Amino acid sequence: MRDNYPIKTICCIGAGYVGGPTMAVIAKKCPHIKVIVTDINEERIKNWNNKNLERLPVYEPGLDKIIMACRNENLFFTTQVENSIKEADMIFISVNTPTKTRGIGAGMASDLNWVETSTRQVARFAKDHTIVIEKSTLPVRTAETIKQILVSSESQSGSENTKTFSVLSNPEFLAEGSAINDLENPDRVLIGGDDDVAIKSLTNIYKCWVKEEKIITTNLWSSELSKLTANAFLAQRISSINSISAICEKTGANIHEVSKAVGLDKRIGNKFISPSPGFGGSCFKKDILNLIYLCKYYGLEEVAEYWNQVLSINNWNRNRISRIIVDKLFGTISNKKLAIFGFSFKANTNDTRESSAIQICKNLIEEGATLAIYDPKVNEDQIARDLNQKPKVNFNKSEILSGEWYFCSTPEEAAKRCDAIIILTEWQEFNNLNWSKLSVLMRKPSWLFDTRNIANYNLAEKYGMKVWRLGSENQ
Ligand code: UDX
Ligand code: ADP
């Protein structure tokens, strides 16, 4: 009986926000291992291979340096899914798992179509013994599906070419915007499975840079459920603080003072209690919906309703902020111009999935406003896809528009002739906005709505702006 499967080549199916950075860090920390990242999206792979590192499909601080050092040394990006699978001793499945839009569980359960397709490819092309690792966030018991597909393709004993599989769950806890640091210094690495030899092989990889005591092993289902639970708890904290923000605004308490006072209790801690327009990102909503679906499946209606509230408050908060903006601007924003500062779901990423900015911008456009949108990393095409509306181009800047949006490359361009600046993402540069310059570009009375409490509002007020801040008593 062997105690370890030697790993020379790793393949990752899916070159997205999880697969790309995770494999880059493995390649950096394990120079003895060849790491191949494969994706069916040709454009994505082309950009991962682009000499111009500004064009990498994922923006993550520190990622470009790793790509520069490892790409075409021991890290490769390719659309050759079949060959990559054939060559690999270990395969990570890191494909997209969006919420189902139709059929059983629509709006709640994850669509496992991409997981199933890639697993079938693994079943078809893998050689010898292959460790298959579930990396995408998935509903509990997905590993079972992966196992069933793979086992049915295993070679019968006695046949000439042996093909066998071990299936592990190894959920990724990285947060976008700090992915490289999270991968290099994880709080824990979680490996779920029952094949001790495969677990040891994966542990050996992480041991290249993670202390052994931080690598914990569980059974498959605990591993899968831990990921959903961690994300549900984090999201719950944000909904909790956002609900208290609304009370602060009504009562004259200040959410930052409350958040600080509460967070100093060691049992609570100060992380994930910053108020915001609402949590976004590809994981929180999807994972809570998966949890709700699981609860409903097992008849745990009260538990399902409990977690559903975390999502309800998140949506309510976005709509609440949209309503406040309209109210403050004399009850109508039709024919008004509003500058949106920040579109990504959080700072330091170009990802807009489930960004609160999408809902808030849609609400404001629906009310007849025209939006001048600026984000340091999100491009015009992405915003158009998210808003489901093309930008207005080639228009006379003094023309009165209604229910349109256009893309701006600088905050100043967005602020020109607008009635309000609305900060939706906490990009560092919004800390130091030049209020003396911006305020003269705007129409009077000019408003600042700061949903992230990041701007220097004293300075904005000094230059004649009216200021509304989330979770504070406001004028
Ligand atoms: C999350 C988990 O943190 C990570 O462990 C998991 O692997 C994937 O999902 P991510 O979605 O990338 O990561 O970012 P995160 O930092 O968790 O932020 C999610 C959302 O919550 C963002 O919209 C952010 O702005 C918001 N947020 C976060 C708050 O509103 N307040 C906070 O205090 C923290
Ligand atoms: P995540 O945030 O989980 O990384 P992304 O959507 O950013 O999700 O990335 C998932 C990637 O997986 C996409 O680039 C998609 O093209 C890729 N993908 C989906 N199915 C397959 C498949 N069968 N083979 C290869 N790549 C796939």
pLDDT digits (tens, 9 = 90+) for 227-248: 999 999 999 999 999 999 999 9
Percentage with pLDDT > 90 across the chain: 87
Query: Once rounded to an integer, what is the mean pLDDT over residues 154-180?
Result: 85
Tokens read off for 283? 């994981």
Q: Rounded to an integer, what distance in angstroms lies between the CA atom of residue 200 and that of residue 206?
A: 10
- Which residues contact ligand 1 via a Cβ below 6 A? 172-176, 231, 234, 238, 272-274, 276, 279-281, 283-284, 345-346
Q: pLDDT tens digits, residue range 195-216?
A: 999 999 999 999 999 999 999 9
Q: What's CA 246's distance to the chain center, in Å?
A: 25
pLDDT bracket for residue 141 (50, 70, 90): confident
Annotated active-site residue 12? The verdict is no
Q: What's CA 316's distance to the chain center, in Å?
A: 20
Name the closest ligand to CA 283: 1
Distance spanning both ends of the chain, measured CA to CA: 73
Angle between helices 220-251 and 142-153 (to 10 degrees): 150
Asked if residue 117 has pLDDT above 90, the reply is yes
What confidence score (pLDDT) does residue 56 get?
96
For residues 118 and 150, is the Cβ–Cβ distance under 8 A?
no
Asked if residue 473 has pLDDT above 80, the reply is no
Q: pLDDT tens digits, residue range 53-72?
A: 999 999 999 999 999 999 99
What confidence score (pLDDT) does residue 155 get?
67
- What Rg, from alpha-carbon coordinates, does the chain have? 24
77: helix, strand or coil: strand
Tokens read off for 407? 């893309």
What confidence score (pLDDT) does residue 161 get?
63
Q: Which atom of ligand 2 is nearest to the CA of 18?
A: 4
Asked if residue 301 has pLDDT above 70, the reply is yes
User: Left if phi > 0, otherwise alpha if psi is -120 to 50, otherwise beta: which for 88?
Assistant: beta
Residue nearest to atom 20 of ligand 2 (CA): 114
Write out the H or E segment, with its range, that includes residue 163: strand 163-169
pTM, rounded to two decimals: 0.94
b/e per residue 124-144 (b: at least 16 CB within 10 A)? ebbeebbbbbbbbbbbbebbe
For residues 293 and 108, is the Cβ–Cβ distance under 8 A?
yes
Asked if residue 5 has pLDDT above 90, the reply is no
Residue nearest to atom 7 of ligand 1 (CA): 173
